[in-house]
Chain A
Amino acid sequence: MIKKFIHLLLPFTILVTFSYGQSNQAGLLFQLSGKIKDASTGGMLPAASIAVQGASNGILSDKNGKYTLKVTSGPVHIICQYVGYQSIDTLLNISGNTQLNLSLKPASQSLNQVNIRAAATAPKEIATQNLTVLQGSDLDRTRGLSLGDALKSITGVTTFQTGPSIAKPVIHGLTGSRVLILNNGVQLEAQQWGQEHAPEIDPFIANQIEVIKGAAGIRYGTDAIAGVVSVSPKALPTDTGTMDGEVNAVGMTNSRLGAFSAMLEGAFGKKLAGLSYRVQGTYKRAGNTSTPDYILGNTGLSESDFSAALQYHHKNYGIDAYYSNFDTKLGIEYDTEVGSISDLEMRIAEGRPVTPYNFSYFIDRPYQQVNHSTAKARGFYNFSDSSKLELQYAYQVNTRREYEELSFSPSLAPALYLQIHTSTLDLNWDHKDGGGFSGSAGLSGMNQGNIRMYEYLIPNFVDYDGAAYAIEKYMHNNWLFEAGARYDYRWLRAFAFDANAARIDVTTTDYSGTSGTLGSTYNFTDNFKITGNYSAAFRPPSINELYIDGVHASLAEFEIGDANLKTERANDFSLSLNYTSSWLAVNAEAYYNRINDFIFEEPTGTYYHAPSGALLEFQYTQANVYFRGADLGITVKPLDSLEINSKSSLIYAWNETINNYLIYTPPTRLQNGFTYHFGGVGAFKNISLGAENVYVAKQTHVPPGYDFAPPPNAYSLFNAHVGFKVIINRTLADFDIAANNLTNVAYKDYLDRFRYFADEPGRNIIFRLRVPFKIFTNNKVPTNN
């Protein structure tokens, strides 16, 4: 009955979210109450969550399965969830105090739930582009991993690594300055251009991670030419007079990583109603990682992060402030700083470290010390015609110190010091009318200043960016149409010291361009739709592509920039198909991304003679390239309690100018797995058990002469996990035990720069614990829960 109801309501849920999500406070308050029970046994379900979509005053049912929720008059969209059970998503028309009893069917992660949750998420910024959301138990299972590693479970996304501790996300074959990362709505501005510069984000703050695959420059600016990774914390609580906390602990056997994260949040009541807060901190420490056959020396890391948020929401307006600080020290594997090509060739011939190392938490030179702090202030105003104006200012400082291995110098100084200050100002206006039109328009401004010390790699620079955009959607019957346009301007001035002439060389360049998007979705039925999108985006050359001049220690490369590079321009076509039924879900996407004047490094064929020996010289240049590929995700549910997943990513990249393949294109990747839900046994609730196989093919499409060693062979890994909940002190605590690379396979990955030196990590058993708890409910210590 409920299922049928859900199917009927599916097309309306989106509309309702749009129209009523933000006008809750306008209506009268009524009480919605009832019981939540197990549909199969009739038993009451304690601690099931129930919430109004769009509001964040969700609560948990008490020990008798009872709940009481304040709702506004008019239509409300109720979501009831309990891990291990199918969620219920329903619409009610409230005109007085209402009784609603809900029966949940066992077996979590049902296809219906997945589908409905996806359809009911907040309106996407770009409706016709492929958006994947990592949340819930899938996200929980990445706790303790770096941001890059956490995203590997998404089709079409992989990582570019520098040893075990540094990973950058790769979307549809592109990474670095071409993938924009949003940290709580602020675009992360660090030294993104560096291949060994991992994103400075604590994944513990994330309640969901959204990934846009494709050229999303239209909404997010010139850095989003390949895609966007958006890390969002959950909304701050609004239930007055509450205080909640959560503790996360992660332990790993390989690298003996320990991570601990704690969060405290609440909403004030009485005179301070509308004011809510959250503080959160994470500490992480890891030692040397082990491969199946040996330990990787100096691969430890330590990280400590802190964030605080404060918001005040009143009827039509709200302001919030956010601050986060990320601080990490990352060891770089010993013996990877090679002095010359002959050193590198010797390392490649050995294929493993020649010196045995023991386990240690000590981090020695070479290492990186990186600090990133972000302060953000945002205000919004909801107009009576349900349009919304938002203004956001953010200031970020990123300080990076890189310490090289020293041979004979007593110096304590880093080899490289870079500090970048970024101010961003964004104004966005969302509107919707009754007739099916909705959209957004806005202005963005950015100012950056970069300061360097010690070695020269990139110059000091100042840049000013400005942009204006508009995106409009129209929904009519089964169709959704979308179109948008954007203009970006960048002014860049670089300052370099010329010792011989005793002066400072100043070089000023400017870049401008337009981006656009055009897309449409056709809903054949409620659970079958096809979406097509064309997006044009551009990217000005990054500072390193223009002005780099120096040695890349671990690749035996001498890199030279080109100050005359033009902007690169992407034309990205994608077609996706989504089908969902009670036992099958299919998400298929095909894309063709053509980038003209693609900026890349080309070996010049000459050698640079460093004192330490000969290095190959690489110069930044431009070519016309294309990427084409397909991502396929299939979920089959032959039983209520069994879910079988299959994910495949294929990509092919070609450089038309040199008539050859593009280097570092991710090879074909297949992930096949299952999860079985047992229900409860004794004190253990919601037991689930799963296993998966990850197969990564050998990359055979490589251009000759660009790499020092052929791509490594294909590999196949097995991962397994078991998860359950246990009630600890009246709170449901989540336990998860996972084993990665269960069979301890020794392998190398093509997209790891350190594959020349060593294998990838061996077996890793990961223990995770998450305990949410309540401190105050309605200004009182909770008596039952």
Chain B
Amino acid sequence: MLKLKHGVYVLLGTALFYASCSSKSEEAVQPNIANETITQASLKFTNQSNPADTPSCTYTFHLDNNDNVTSVDSTTLKLKANSKYNGVVYMLDQTQTPVFVVSNEIKQRENYHLFFYQPTPINTAPVISNTSPYIPGTPVTPSLPPLNLSIVRTDHDTNNPPMQVGLTTVFTTGGASSGNLRFVLRHQPNAKNGTYAPGSSDLDVNFITVIQ
């Protein structure tokens, strides 16, 4: 039968067992590091006929300790009516030290990245092709005055045949109007074919846009 002696052994064993478990390594908490984060995305423009006219817009993500987004802010893009602008993309990961210029890395990996630029509201569905920077499925709202803006990408990757990237663009404005510019970066490993569908979005933001 079970004797008191056995019970004592058990209690001793249990005490040793708990004493042997230290929690030092759990207390030394490692910092939270994400492999990739985009904390800031900017579009910078230069008016083709007036180099002093350099509007831009910036979208910023504010992160908490866990690298989760707590708030965002963005600046309005103000473009002159009936003008042509050269645009470039500038993206940062400010959680890294030194600050990591994401757009430079994307230039190096341009064969599987593709940028999309979609003005809204629109009155007619945009022409979708593998050279169009517009996003399929964008709602058409004939009742609202459209944002008079058209965009073409001007750079190409090293795929064969070469496909567009969208790190550099030309924005052409029409008459005064306002709306939004949806700016999307698609990540399309082994799958880039010029269209929106393959892959997934790395960045998907809206800039309030005023053409005046």
- Residues of chain A at the chain B interface (Cβ within 8 Å): 297, 334-335, 337-340, 342-343, 346, 350, 354-355, 357, 383, 385, 387, 389, 391, 393, 404-411, 413, 415, 423, 425, 427, 429, 443, 445, 447, 449-456, 459-462, 464, 493, 495-500, 504, 549-551, 558, 608-614
Contacts and interface: CB of A to CB of B under 8 A. Distances in A.
Interface stretch (B82-90, B148-156, B191-199): B191-199
Given A335-B199, A504-B29, A456 B204 contact: no
B39 to A, nearest CB: 8
Given A335-B200, A447-B21, 13 more contacts: A340-B204, A343-B200, A355-B199, A405-B187, A423-B21, A429-B2, A454-B32, A455-B32, A455-B35, A459-B29, A497-B32, A608-B68, A612-B204
B33 interface: yes
B38 A454 contact: no
B201 interface: yes
Interface stretch (B9-17, B50-58, B125-133): B9-17
Nearest to B36: A409
Given A464-B18, A612-B200, A451 B26 contact: yes
A495 B33 contact: no
Nearest to A336: B200
B25 interface: yes
A361 B190 CA distance: 16
Given A408-B102, A413-B35, A499-B65, A453 B30 contact: yes
A342 B204 contact: yes
Nearest to B66: A456
Given A383-B1, A456-B32, A408 B202 contact: yes
Interface residues of B, number: 55
Interface string B177-212: 000000001010111000001111111110000000
A612 B26 contact: no
Interface string B57-87: 0000100111111001000000000000000
Contacts of A611: 37-39, 41, 61, 69, 202-205
A337 B200 contact: yes
Contact of A338 (B21, B105, B200): B200
Contacts of A612: 200-204
Contacts of A409: 35-36, 100, 105
B176 interface: no
B6 A389 contact: yes
Contacts of A404: 35
Nearest to A381: B6
Contacts of B38: 611
17 contacts: A334-B189, A339-B200, A340-B204, A346-B197, A354-B191, A406-B36, A407-B106, A407-B109, A443-B14, A454-B32, A455-B35, A460-B27, A464-B18, A495-B26, A550-B66, A612-B202, A613-B201
B21 to A, nearest CB: 4
In the complex, which of the residues A339, A445, A460 has the most CB atoms of chain B within 10 Å of its own CB atom? A339
B8 interface: no
A756 to B, nearest CB: 13
A460 B17 contact: no
Contacts of B190: 297, 334, 355, 357
Nearest to A506: B27
Given A342-B204, A423-B21, A611-B61, A415 B1 contact: no
B51 to A, nearest CB: 30
Nearest to B100: A409
Contacts of B201: 339-340, 342-343, 612-613
A497 B31 contact: yes
B26 A445 contact: no
Contacts of B191: 335, 354-355
A354 B198 contact: yes
A751 B30 CA distance: 35
B65 A500 contact: yes
Given A408-B36, A456-B66, A609 B106 contact: no
A405 to B, nearest CB: 7
Contacts of B100: 409
B7 to A, nearest CB: 10
Question: Which 7 pairs, one residue from A and one from B, show the smallest C-beta to C-beta distance?
Answer: A613-B204, A355-B191, A456-B66, A339-B201, A408-B105, A409-B36, A447-B21
B99 interface: no
A389 B2 contact: yes
In the complex, which of the residues A407, A443, A460, A610 has the most CB atoms of chain B within 10 Å of its own CB atom? A407
B72 A609 contact: yes
B34 interface: yes
Nearest to A560: B68
B23 interface: yes
Given A350-B197, A387-B1, A449-B23, A425 B17 contact: yes
A381 B66 CA distance: 51
A260 B6 CA distance: 45
A343 B185 CA distance: 12
Nearest to A462: B23
Contacts of B204: 339-340, 342, 611-614
Nearest to B199: A335
B113 A452 contact: no
A407 B197 contact: no
A410 B198 CA distance: 22
Contact of A449 (B25, B30, B137, B202): B25
Given A462-B26, A495-B27, A609-B69, A447 B35 contact: no
B205 A406 contact: no
Contacts of A459: 29
A456 B67 contact: yes
Nearest to B96: A409
Contacts of A462: 21, 23, 26
Contacts of A408: 36, 102, 105-106, 109, 113, 202
B65 A407 contact: no
Contacts of A456: 32, 65-68
B56 to A, nearest CB: 18
A98 to B, nearest CB: 35
Nearest to B65: A499
A225 B38 CA distance: 42
B29 A497 contact: yes
Contacts of B197: 346, 350, 354
Contacts of A450: 26
